[in-house]
Amino acid sequence: MASVSAEDAPRLRPYMKLAEQLGSLVGQVTPGGIQSVEISFEGHVASLNTRPLTNTVLMGLLRPSSDFVNMVNAPVIAKDRGIRTAETRLERESDYHTMIRVHVKTDRGALGLAGSLFSGKPRLIGIDGVALESELTARMLFVRNKDAPGFIGSLGTALGRAGVNIANFNLGRTSPGTDAVCLVSVDDEIPAQVLQQIQGLPGVVGVYSLRFDGPA
């Protein structure tokens, strides 16, 4: 059982939110059954009590498929489902003062995420090696696509015609014309038929409607 002491609590609090959001993102966009989860703590966070953070990642990951998961029972549920869990710590800083990486393997592929804190607030900083800085807000759209001219306009048009207002738009790619990912913060729920329209846009590989705890 992971415990958070009164001394650790204020230092862990912003990381707990980041850990939950990274786990939740994995749980919402990972296709297939999850086989393993590797969680890496780098920089300042590696000097803290990371066990509660590992459990919180697992809680966020499992919550889309379980109404009863919490920070205490998440490791047990993961083990019962045959999910292997590994945790590593590296106190040396990389490009960021502090960072959490989550890498999952499934029966259909793999997914890697990285997140950090900006002024004490959680921020996604990478997806599958693609640099992308974004807050994870209450309602979001996640799209994988092949980088091509006109895609952003087509996506904006599809959302605009449905009356979905864009609050923020974050795009990343490995290089011109290759794999790209975008995270769009929206003010409204995205109807299923609009998701289908976006899935049908040229170059789109995957579309996911996301929800995160917090204010709308």
Give 70-93 pLDDT, tens digit per residue. Answer: 999 999 999 999 999 999 999 887
Is residue 72 domain-shared with residue 94, that is, in the same domain? Answer: yes
pLDDT confidence of residue 111? 94
Is residue 168 domain-shared with residue 108, that is, in the same domain? Answer: no
Is residue 36 domain-shared with residue 16, that is, in the same domain? Answer: yes
pLDDT confidence of residue 5? 65
Q: Give how many domains the chain has, as a whole number.
A: 2
Is residue 38 domain-shared with residue 62, that is, in the same domain? Answer: yes
Whether 108 contacts 114, CB under 8 Å: no
- The range of the structural domain enclosing residue 191 comes to 139-211
Is residue 23 domain-shared with residue 105, that is, in the same domain? Answer: yes
* 95 in a structural domain: yes
pLDDT confidence of residue 75? 95
* 179 in a structural domain: yes
Is residue 48 domain-shared with residue 124, that is, in the same domain? Answer: yes
pLDDT confidence of residue 216? 40
pLDDT band, very low/low/confident/very high, at 6 (cuts 50, 70, 90): low
